[in-house]
Structure 1
Amino acid sequence: MGSGQVTSSVPSGSSEFHGKHVTVAGLGVSGVPAARALHERGAVVTVVNDGDDARAREQAAELQALGVTVRLGDGDTLPEGTELIVTAPGWKPDKPLFLAAGKAGVPIWGDVELAWRLRGPDAAPWLAVTGTNGKTTTVRMLASILKAAGLRTAAVGNIGVSLLDAVLGEERYDVLAVELSSYQLHWAPSLRAYSGAVLNLAPDHLDWHGSMEAYAADKGRIYEGNKVACVYNVADSLTEDLVREADVEEGCRAVGFTLGTPGPSQLGVVEGLLIDRAFVEMRHKNAQELAEVCDVNPPVPHNIANALAAAALARSFGVPATAVRDGLRAFRPDPHRIEHVADLDGVAYVDDSKATNTHAAEASLAAYESIVWIAGGLAKGAVFDELVAKSAKRLRAAVLMGADRELIREALARHAPEVPVVDLDRTDTGAMLQAVTEAKRLARSGDTVLLAPACASMDMFTNYNQRGDAFAAAVRELGA
C-alpha cells in the first residue's frame, strides 16, 4: 500500500462549467440528472443517445424543454466543440465517440466523477463498495448499520439511487454508503473514498474491460486515496494485491475480513460470533464482539462475508459494536438473493436468480448440502468447469434450461457424470414451471431446490427479477 499523500479534488461549482460545451453520453438513470446538473451550472449541454425509443424520446423532450440539445440514434459522433464528455457507466471505452474524444484530447468523466466534483465543501464522506458479487447486499447492510448508529445516510450509486441526486439534493447526510461498479470506477479518476472495499474478484464483464487485468485495475481504483481503511477479502488474494498497489492517505490501513479466526487488523468469525480485531485498542491482544452469525440474514457463508465487509467499513467510520448488531438484525435482503420461497414435502425452494455469473452461483451452491440445481440462460462467455467441479459433491440433480444450457451440461458430463441431468429444450418463459416440476420430482426430503442460474436471464426473461418471480410462482403453483 503506497504512502503518498493524496488529497481530494476541490469541489467545482458553477464557474467551472459556465459556458463549457459538455456532451452527455446516454440518457437513463445517470444521463438525465447529469444533463440537468450541468445545464443548471451554465454549461452548453448536448446529449447523445444510441437509442430512439419511446422512453428516450420522452426523456429527450423533458431536457429539450430546458434548452438542452438532444441527438437520438447517434451515440457515436463527437459533437463539434465538445470540451468534456460525461458518460453513462455502461458505454464501452472503445466506442467511436470515445476514440474520437481521445484523438481530440477531450476528457471523459462518468456520472460518479461528476458527482464527486460537484459535492459541496461540507459533503458527506463516502464509504465505497465494489466487487464481482455481493455489492448491493453489502451496501444495504452498511446503510442499515449506519442508520442503527443514528447517522443520516443512504445507499446510493450503482444500487439505483443516483449519486448526483444524493450529492445535489436538499437532504444533508453524515455519510453515504456507495455501491460502485467497475464501469463507474473506470470513469472516476479523482474519486477518493473515506474507506473502500473490494469484496471479491472473478472474471466478469471482460468483453467491456478487455482483460481480467484491466477489470481488476478498475475495481482497484476504489482504494485510491482512501483515508482510513482499505477493506479486502482474506480469502481472495487478488483483493489484497489491489490494496498493496493503491496510493492512499498517510495512516490508512489494510483491513481484512475472513470467515475464519481473525488476526490483528482483521474481522472474522469465532464460535458463531462476528469479531473485530481491527478497530480496537491493542488489536494484537484484544478483540470486540460485534454480532452473532445468526444476526445475519440469511446466515450463509458468502452473506456472512458481506456482513463482515459492511461492519469493517462502518467501524472505520467510528460506529459502535452495538450498531453493527442492530443494523444486521434490521437488515432484510432484496428479493432474488438467496430468498427462501417455500418448503414443500421437506424440500426447501430457494430463489437466487441474482446469481447471474459463475462466481455468484458458486457461493450460492456452497451454502447448501444437497441440491437440485436449476441453471442456465445466457453464459456471457463464461465457462462452467470450475463451478461444477467445486460443487459436484453437493448436487443431487440438475435441471437445465436457456440458450447456453449445453455449456453447463457438458461441464456436468466432464466433472459430475453421476449427477442426473434434465435438459429442457426450450427458452420460453413457461419453461420455469416445467423446470420446477422436474426439480420437485428429483428432490428428496432435506434437499434444497436452488435456482442459481450462473447465467444472465435475457434469453427468456426481461431480467433476473422476472426470472425469480417465475420460479416463485411455479413453486406456489406446485404447492397449492
Structure 2
Amino acid sequence: MSSGPIGGRLDGLTSAGADWSGLRVLVAGVGLSGFAAADALHERGARVIAVDGGDPERSTALRERANILDILGVDVRLGAEHVAHLPYETPLDLVVTSPGWRPDQPLLAEAAQAGIPVWGEVELAWRMRPEVGAAPWLTVTGTNGKTTTVNMLASMLRAAGLRATSAGNVGTPILEAVLHPDPYDVIAVELSSFQLHWSDSLAPHASACLNVAPDHVDWHGSFEEYTRAKGKVYANTKVACVYNVQDPVTEQLVMDADVQEGCRAIGFTLGVPGLSMVGVVEDVLADRAFVEQRRTSAAELATLEDVRGSQATLAPHYLANALAAAALARAYGVPPVAVRDGLRAFTPDPHRIADAGTVDGVRYVDDSKATNPHAAASSLSAFEHVVWVAGGLLKGADVDDLVRESASRLRGVVLIGRDRAQIAEALARHAPDVPVVDVPTTDTGVMDLVVAHAADLAQPGDVVLLAPAAASMDMFENYGARGDAFAEAVARRAARAEGE
C-alpha cells in the first residue's frame, strides 16, 4: 500500500514552498479542516483523494464542499463504503485526517498497520507555513476555556497593533490562517486533544494548557492518554510554557515536556502571584513573570472590571482564562496597556455565562457551552444559590465529584437528556435533600417546561443556570441550539410575566 521510502521526502516537507507535487495523499473527512487540507494539497500539485462517510443528500454543506473539490480536480468519494478501508487501487504516501477521526477508525488503523504516516490538519498547517517570515503560533489547549482564551489573546495582540487572528479548533481552519494572502504577524491557535494527538512537529513561541479533567475518554481510550495528548501542547515550545497553578497536572505536563533551550515555566493563578507568575493582587491583574525586577515588583496589566466588562458576573474560570491569555500575550512581548485594552474590547462568545434575563426576581443564565462536568463545576462555583438545569450526553464522564462539590449551592435541579439518570443517581447519593425534577421528553421544544419547573424551584435572588455538564446532540443540533432554546423560553416567560 505504501510507496516505500517516502519518509525522507515527508521530512523535507516543512514549508509551503517545498515540493509537494506528486505526493499521493488521502484526506480523511471533508469538513472545514478536511476541505482546507485537500484544497491546499491539490493546489501544490499533490494527487489527492478525499473521502467522507457522510451522506451528501442529508448535508448541504458536505455536498457543496465536495462539489467544489471535484471542480478543482480532487478525487472525492462520499459514503460509508469509502471510509471502511483504504483505496486499494492507489498506493499512498500520506494520510491527512480530520481531528474527529479516532485512531481506531478502520481506515486510519489500516494506514498505521501499512506504515503510511498519518498527519492531522494542524500538522499539515505547521509544515505549510512560509519558509521565511512565518507567523509564530501561541497555542492553547485544556479541557475547558480554550476558545475564550484564544479569542481574548487575539484581542490583546490586535490591541498591540499586530495583525493577529485566532484559528484552529476555534472555527477557522488553521490552514486558512497560515496560507492567508495577507500574512498574519502572529496566530493564537486553539488545539483540541484530537488535534494534538495527530501533531508532532509543532514548535510554538508560547503554549498553555488551561486545565485537565476527564473528557473524550471514549476517543482516547483512557484518561491517561487524554492527558498525554494535552501535554503535547508544550513540546518544542520556545519561550514560555504557561500552566495553571490551581491545576497541578498542567504543571507536571510542563515538567515532563521536551522544550527548547531557555523556555520558561510561567504560572497563572487566581491568587497573589509568586515569582514567574501572573495573578491577582486585590482588584488588579499583576505580572511577576515578564518584568525585569520580578523578584521585587510586578506590572499592572488590568483590573477585574476590565475583565468583567458588561457581564453581570465575573466567574472564576473566566478570570483564569484572562490570566492565561495575558501570560501568553506577555510572552510575545505585548505591553501591559495592550493587555488591558484587549480585555476591554473583548466580547465573549454566546452561551458562556450569558445572561438570558431576569423574571420575578430570578436570574436566568445560559452556559450551554459547559458540555462536561469540569466546565459545569466552574460555572456553578460562580453563584451562591442555583437551580441547575443539567443533562444530555455525558460521553462516559463521571459526575459524582461535580455533584458532591456543588451540593451546597443547589436550590433544585431540572434534568433533561439521555444520561439524566446518571446525574439523578449522583444527586441521590450526595444531595438527597435537593428537589429534582426529571423531564423525560427529548422534544426540542422542552425548554418552556424546563424553565417553568426551574421557576417553581427558584426563590427571588436565585440563579437558574443552564450548565448541562453534557453534550447536546441527543436533543439538539449543538450546544448553541440548546442555549438558544433556553434563552427563547426565558424570553417567552418574561413576556408572559409582563402581560399579567
The bucket for the TM-score relative to the shorter chain is: over 0.9
Q: Match for 1:261: what amino acid?
A: V
Partner in structure 1 of residue 5 of structure 2: none
Q: Pick from 80, 85, 88: which aligns with 1:77? A: 85
Give yes or no for contact 1:14–1:42 (8 Å, CA) kept in 2. Answer: no
Partner in structure 1 of residue 98 of structure 2: 88
Q: Match for 2:109: what amino acid?
A: L
| Structure 2: distance between partners of 1:40 and 1:403 | 45
Q: Match for 1:167: what amino acid?
A: V
- For the pair 1:240 / 2:251, whether they are aligned, the reply is yes
| Structure 2: distance between partners of 1:218 and 1:385 | 25
Partner in structure 1 of residue 8 of structure 2: none
Q: Pick from 414, 438, 451: which aligns with 2:466? A: 451
1:13-28 equivalent positions in 2, closer than 5 A = 13=16, 15-28=18-31
Give yes or no for contact 2:13–2:20 (8 Å, CA) kept in 1. Answer: no
Partner in structure 2 of residue 104 of structure 1: 114
| Structure 2: distance between partners of 1:186 and 1:382 | 20
Give yes or no for contact 2:66–2:76 (8 Å, CA) kept in 1. Answer: yes
Partner in structure 2 of residue 423 of structure 1: 438
Give yes or no for contact 1:225–1:248 (8 Å, CA) kept in 2. Answer: yes
| Structure 1: distance between partners of 2:16 and 2:384 | 56
Partner in structure 2 of residue 36 of structure 1: 39
Q: Pick from 65, 70, 86: which aligns with 2:71? A: 65
Q: Pick from 36, 45, 50: which aligns with 2:48? A: 45
Q: Match for 2:63: what amino acid?
A: R
- For the pair 1:405 / 2:420, whether they are aligned, the reply is yes
| Structure 1: distance between partners of 2:439 and 2:114 | 52
- For the pair 1:212 / 2:212, whether they are aligned, the reply is no
Superimposed CA distance per residue, residues 321-365 of structure 1 (whole angstroms, 9 cap, x where no aligned partner) = 111111111111000000011122222110000011100000000
What is the DSSP-based 3-state SS (H/G/I as helix, E as strand, rest coil) of the residue aligned with 1:444?
A: coil
Q: Match for 1:465: what amino acid?
A: G
| Structure 2: distance between partners of 1:47 and 1:429 | 34
Q: Which runs of 4+ in 1 moved over 4 A?
A: none
Partner in structure 1 of residue 177 of structure 2: 166
1:80-479 equivalent positions in 2, closer than 5 A = 80-120=90-130, 121-297=132-308, 298=311, 299-479=314-494
Partner in structure 1 of residue 6 of structure 2: none
Q: Match for 1:125: what amino acid?
A: P
Superimposed CA distance per residue, residues 417-453 of structure 1 (whole angstroms, 9 cap, x where no aligned partner) = 1111111121111211111011112211111110001
| Structure 2: distance between partners of 1:15 and 1:328 | 39
| Structure 1: distance between partners of 2:243 and 2:153 | 15
Partner in structure 2 of residue 5 of structure 1: none
| Structure 2: distance between partners of 1:458 and 1:227 | 39
What is the DSSP-based 3-state SS (H/G/I as helix, E as strand, rest coil) of the residue aligned with 2:72?
A: coil
Superimposed CA distance per residue, residues 226-262 of structure 1 (whole angstroms, 9 cap, x where no aligned partner) = 1110000011111011100111111110000011111
Closer, same or farther: CA 398–281 of 1 in aligned 2, 3 Å: same
5+ long unaligned stretches in structure 1: 1-7
Shift of 1:12: 2.6
| Structure 1: distance between partners of 2:18 and 2:188 | 29
Q: Match for 2:174: what amino acid?
A: L
Superimposed CA distance per residue, residues 23-61 of structure 1 (whole angstroms, 9 cap, x where no aligned partner) = 111101011111111111111111111113233333222
Shift of 1:16: 3.0
| Structure 2: distance between partners of 1:300 and 1:13 | 42
| Structure 1: distance between partners of 2:69 and 2:12 | 29
| Structure 1: distance between partners of 2:350 and 2:281 | 29
| Structure 2: distance between partners of 1:19 and 1:293 | 55
Give yes or no for contact 2:162–2:186 (8 Å, CA) kept in 1. Answer: yes
What is the DSSP-based 3-state SS (H/G/I as helix, E as strand, rest coil) of the residue aligned with 2:164?
A: coil
Give yes or no for contact 1:9–1:117 (8 Å, CA) kept in 2. Answer: no
What is the DSSP-based 3-state SS (H/G/I as helix, E as strand, rest coil) of the residue aligned with 1:65?
A: helix
Q: Match for 1:410: what amino acid?
A: E
Give yes or no for contact 1:33–1:164 (8 Å, CA) kept in 2. Answer: yes
Instruction: Give the number of aligned pairs.
Output: 473
Shift of 1:273: 1.1
TM-score (norm 2): 0.93
| Structure 1: distance between partners of 2:265 and 2:450 | 45
Partner in structure 2 of residue 12 of structure 1: 15
| Structure 1: distance between partners of 2:393 and 2:137 | 34
What is the DSSP-based 3-state SS (H/G/I as helix, E as strand, rest coil) of the residue aligned with 2:19?
A: helix
Deviates further, 387-396 or 75-84: 75-84
| Structure 1: distance between partners of 2:39 and 2:183 | 20
Shift of 1:402: 1.3
| Structure 1: distance between partners of 2:445 and 2:71 | 44
Shift of 1:9: 8.4
Give yes or no for contact 2:12–2:18 (8 Å, CA) kept in 1. Answer: no
| Structure 2: distance between partners of 1:396 and 1:99 | 48
